[in-house]
Structure 1
Amino acid sequence: MSLDTPHDPRFDTLIDRCGTDCAKWDGMQGLYGVSPDSGLSMWVADMDFRPPECVQTALQGMIDHGIYGYYGDEGSYRAAIQWWMQTRHCWHVESDWIFSTHGLVNGTGLCIDAFTEPGDGVILFTPVYHAFSRVIKAAERQVVECRLVNTDGRYEMDFDAYDAQMTGSERMIILCSPHNPGGRVWTRAELEGLAAFARRHDLILVSDEIHHDLVMPCHSHIPAALIDGITDRLVMMTATSKTFNLAGHHTGNVIIEDPALRARFAQRMAGLGLSPNSFGLVMARAAYTPEGAAWVEDLVGYIDGNRRLFDAEVNAIPGLRSMALESTYLSWVDFSGTGMAQDEVIRRIQDDAQIAANHGTTFGGGGESFMRFNIGTQRARVKDACDRLARAFGDLQ
């Protein structure tokens, strides 16, 4: 794919993030041995783009005012969430269904704490976002891995196999929708199958939909809340963080329609004395606007261009196969065709190509031959990464 596409300064401008206490760039040498001076950071899921101007303006307004007290009435913030979910996802949300958490990893931990007990099983469809497993284990619950089936480079669920795995100790499912890694956008039929599975085994379903706005053309995300017969056991989690590259604001939302579940979650929130920070609420409220929506449309188009470039060039390298992304900016590359051990694959990527990427094993069962690459960056860097990988695995050509 040619790089001769119209220049968009919002996304094409290279931004030096080194020395800014940035985990993505300042932390990669310690984690991966890749120097930010000569390497590319393509691991943790934040993008190298500034958010839309409406967010910057809102923050500047706070700075100009100069007083940073407690946030008061959350009505306008909740209204922004309601508008976004209705407008973008055809999902009606009542204001009192919304709880603000310190990001969605925190939201996940709160759900585990509120709805399960130590020793209970929590189901993950692996390979999946690694923080889920970390939080489950830290809470002294048991991780139950239900492996996704890789069917010709596309993940699918196998509920017959999962039924056979159940022991009766499982209490919760944590779904990643759209899925990370692999980028699957689950179909209505798949979500209906999941709802039936949850009912059969009396499971709470926590649906982390943090990537729901970053869906590639020709695909449509369906919120789990729109599936019949699931709301009595459903907890939804959403945030502006991935959509608008605001991960540092640590603001997420747990949205619960069922009154009984909502009361249990509210009690746990109250017992921990949790409340949101004003900066996160102001940023999210500014993002969930028509101006923010227009920016997201342009962002998705840009990521889709990065995806097509990355897939074309990586798939041209013998032994490498990039899973076709239906959503997210996190490319999932299978290196099993190289015949190499994972240690050798990692050595070539980190030492030879000088790229910091996530190791597939951290995502649980099924990730052993994979690496995850963050393509939410300037297209020139995506092209550079492709060239580096081609050289690092050049002896296979």
Structure 2
Amino acid sequence: MPQTPDFDEVIDRRGTHSVKWDGMAQAYGVSPQDGIAMWVADMDFRPPTCVQRAVEALAGHGVYGYWGDDAPYLEAIRWWMQARHGWAVERNWIFTTHGLVNGTAMCVDAFTQPGDGVVLMTPVYHAFARVINAAGRQVVECPLKLVDGRYEMDFAAWDAQMTGAERMLILCSPHNPGGRVWTAAELRATADFCKRHGLILVSDEIHHDLVMPGHAHHVMARACPDVADRLVMMTATTKTFNIAGAHTGNVIIPDPDLRARFAGRMAAMGISPNSFGLAMATAAYSPEGADWLDALIGYLDGNRRLFDAGIDAIPGLRSMGLEATYLAWVDFAGTGMAPGEFTARVEKGARIAANHGASFGLGGESFLRFNLATPRARVAEAVARLQAAFADLQ
């Protein structure tokens, strides 16, 4: 019988080289001694025991040489994508990168040239813009429309923005930080937009397993098979199972021409995966990992409900309806406060480290992003602190 995960267990991550906990004082001025870390997108939970057993087996052997046969790893990916997402993936489509930020950077390197435009639907995961700029490409921000507290795509406006210098669009699906699960119709419209403007479509689906009850993720490769000649898929075990430190992600490319171009850049950069990451991913993509994930989603849904109820009770604050991810996107616009004021109340008053919305690009200025993947007692404490910090509005 699989062991029931104890997500309520409070694990002290301070002093463990955790960016999320040990880095928040420098980043936000919030002390880890009495602060709550709700910024970096990893979880405060242990991964499934099958992952821990895989790590212990490698450590127990005590010889850490070059990794050889990766067939079980590739088969685990194929099984998971078919079993959980109904997506048939061939082994030779799969490239393993050092996480999906590295995967994104490799796509930018392989499929664009310096000076080319790369389209982002903003606000969106901040690492995209970081790697685009670092590569000497141009970030083209296409702002999402905020309609009744929910993001929608705006292709009419975006068509007018295109200059012909754009070569790629990076889609975040499900969306981070807004938590949207894009509909099949929205994905088809995105594919059509890319075809109209001659764009390579990179679909980052790292959050595709973390979907709230009542919602269903649509794999771009299945929703839009007619865009396969320009499609690059990105997936990973790392967000799903809280093993981001393994830095293991997959770039999955059905089209042979795109695949050859990407393979050439991988070879030129000398990139190969590490054995611990492969072992952890192989263990995670299993029936035991699936049972753990189902329990996790139920727990995260409870955290979401608790957090949203508490935030929405504060006049002027609104937590965007979370359809996927464990990242709450809270709008402070209704307070009438400038970002500096509401951010100070959160960091200095509530002693919570949360991501600043402006770092996600156009449209994020009035928001903060809160990570809810932590024991429920800590979520409840965060809500209480935020209500106290904004008590004068109530």
In the other structure, the counterpart of 1:122 is: 118
Q: Partners in 1 of 2:149 and 2:78 — Cα distance?
A: 36
Residue equivalent to 2:51? 55
Q: Identify the residue that residue 377 of structure 1 maps to in structure 2.
A: 374
SS at 1:297's partner residue?
A: helix
Who is 1:219 aligned against?
215
Rounded Cα–Cα distance in structure 1 between residues aligned with 2:52 and 2:390: 42
Which one of 334, 338, 342 corresponds to residue 337 of structure 1?
334
d(CA) in 1 for partners of 2:66 and 2:147? 51
**SS of residue matched to 1:45:** coil
What residue identity is the alignment partner of 2:252?
A: I
User: Does residue 101 of structure 2 align to residue 111 of structure 1?
Assistant: no
Deviation at 1:278, TM superposition (A): 0.3
Q: Distance in 1 between matches of 2:171 and 2:50?
A: 31
1:143 counterpart residue number: 139
Q: Tell me the distance in 2 between the aligned counterparts of 1:395 and 1:168.
A: 50
Structure 2, gaps ≥5 residues long: none
Aligned counterpart for 2:14 among listed residues 18, 30, 52: 18
Residue 171 (str. 1) matches residue 171 (str. 2): no
Contact 2:5–2:295, Cα closer than 8 Å, also in 1: no
**Alignment match, 2:81:** 85
Hey, what's the Cα distance between the residues in 2 that align with 1:17 and 1:23? 10
Counting only pairs closer than 5 Å after superposition, residues 1-397 of structure 1 correspond to structure 2 as 10-226=6-222, 227-397=224-394
Q: CA deviation at 1:188?
A: 0.3
Cα distance in 2, alignment partners of residues 48 and 228 from structure 1: 37
Give the superposition deviation at 1:229.
1.0
Deviation by residue 1:298-347 (Cα, 9 ceiling, x = unmatched): 00000000000000010000010000000000000000000000000111
CA distance in 2, matches of 1:76, 1:172: 33
How far apart are residue 185 of structure 1 and its match? 0.3
Q: Which amino acid aligns with 2:236?
A: A
TM-score relative to the length of structure 1: 0.98
Q: Distance in 2 between matches of 1:76 and 1:188?
A: 32
Q: Return the offset for 1:9.
A: 5.7
For each residue in 1:104-160, what CA deviation from the matched residue of structure 2 results, as whole angstroms up to 9, or x when unmatched? 000000000000000000000000000000000000000000000011111110111
Deviations 1:193-227 (A, max 9, x none): 01111100110000000000000011000111011
Question: What do you get for the CA RMSD once the two structures are aligned?
Answer: 0.6
Query: In the alignment, is the contact (CA less than 8 A) between 2:233 and 2:253 conserved in 1?
Result: yes
The one-letter amino acid of 1:62's match is: L
SS at match of 1:254: strand
In the TM superposition, what is the alpha-carbon distance from 1:73 to its structure 2 partner? Answer: 1.1
Q: 2-side partners of 1:291 and 1:171: how far apart?
A: 41
Please give the secondary structure, in 1, of the residue aligned with 2:6.
helix
Aligned residue pairs: how many? 390
Secondary structure in structure 2 of the residue aligned to 1:263: helix
Give me the whole-angstrom Cα distance separating, in 2, the residues matched to 1:154 and 1:340.
21
Does structure 1 retain, via aligned residues, the 8 Å contact 2:122–2:362?
A: yes
- Structure 1 CA distance, aligned partners of 2:293 and 2:249? 18
Offset from partner CA, 1:62-99 (integer Å, 9 cap, x none): 11111111110111100000000000000000000000
Which letter does structure 2 place at the counterpart of 1:44? V
Matched with 1:4 is none
Residue identity in the other structure for 1:286 = A
Measure, in 2, the Cα distance between the counterparts of 1:160 and 1:339.
30
Residue 228 of structure 1 and its aligned partner are, at CA, apart by 2.9
Unaligned runs of 5+ in 1: 1-7
Equivalent residue number for residue 3 of structure 1? none
Taking structure 2 as the reference length, the TM-score comes to 0.98
